[in-house]
Amino acid sequence: MEDVVIRTLDKVTLRDPILVEGLPGVGNVGKLAADYLKEQLGAKPLATIYSKFFPPQVYVGEDGIIRLVSNDLSYWKAAPSAPHDVLILGGDYQGISPEGQYEITERVLDYCHGLGVREVFTLAGFAQGRVVEEPRVLGAATARDRVESLKKAGVVFSRNDPGGGLIGASGLFLGLGRLFGMEGACLMGETSGYFVDPRSAEAVLKVLGRVLEVEIDFTALETKAKEIDRIAQKIHEAEQRTSEPSAPSGPGPREDLGYIG
């Protein structure tokens, strides 16, 4: 097996496509946003990416059938009046080594360049280490004009946010993308970093929806956000009970915290 294998599932001609990357990361904000966008647009499978740089494992489905872990490219063809089609990159993992991150990113960018991609948006979470009730969307871009246009869409740009740089796919797809003549930006939703964060993903998608000029129904994402809020509240209450002075021993009510997969 080669280090990176890209298997094309469909042959398609795209009109000035924009690449949107959302792989697992902090709060799974980018992955959740990309998966939700793919579902909302009804994007179709285009290619599957396999690599030695992913963890050495397979997933086992509910039907007992296995599949090799992968990344996936999907495409959405916009209405003829719209200026851009959309490619969405999602998947199970990022590369598990620096070499793997570079190799996978370079191969995917080369593939997308062949499809006509000249613009990239990467989606990610920005950990604040605390619960964020109304997450902002922080940004980093490849050019000044993109900074100014995204500010008008509500993105916050600050030298201290995210001070130090972008780690992983969300940064590399922009940095290496410039070697392919691509420009773009990273949209980062503020998140605690403790949970999968649908509320942060929604904030990111609201900005991206304005940029791509697509309508997104956030009902299902808002429902997930309320479920996460409920679990976070129960954990907070459990922590408070643990920190209180111990009461006399005896049977008491038991409350399960639950789990969302």
pLDDT per residue as tens digits for the range 108-117: 999 999 999 9
Q: Look up tokens 């789990």; give the residue.
A: 259
DSSP assignment of the chain = --SEEEEE------SS-EEEE--S-GGGHHHHHHHHHHHHHT-EEEEEEEETTS-S-EEE-TTS-EEE--EEEEEEPPPTTSS--EEEEEES---SSHHHHHHHHHHHHHHHHHTT--EEEEEEEEE-SS--SS--EEEEESSHHHHHHHHHTT-B-BTTBTTT---SHHHHHHHTGGGGT-EEEEEEEEE-SSS--HHHHHHHHHHHHHHHT-----HHHHHHHHHHHHHHHHHHHHHHHHHSPPPPP------------
Q: Mean of the pLDDT values across residues 96-103?
A: 97
pLDDT of 37 reads 97
Convert the pLDDT of each residue in 169-213 to its tens digit. 999 999 999 999 999 999 999 999 888 999 999 999 999 999 999
pLDDT of 236 reads 61
**pLDDT higher than threshold 70 for residue 244:** no
- The fraction of the chain above a pLDDT of 70, given in percent, is 89
pLDDT of 256 reads 37
The answer to whether 71 and 108 have CB atoms below 8 angstroms apart is: yes
Convert the pLDDT of each residue in 46-82 to its tens digit. 999 999 999 999 999 999 999 999 999 999 999 998 8
Convert the pLDDT of each residue in 109-149 to its tens digit. 999 999 999 999 999 999 998 888 899 999 999 999 999 99
pLDDT of 162 reads 57
**pLDDT higher than threshold 70 for residue 32:** yes
Rg (alpha carbons) of the chain, rounded to whole number: 20
**pLDDT higher than threshold 80 for residue 232:** no
pLDDT of 260 reads 30
**Which domains, and CATH codes, for the chain?**
4-225 (3.40.50.10900)
Query: What would the two tokens of residue 191 be?
Result: 């998140």
pLDDT of 255 reads 39
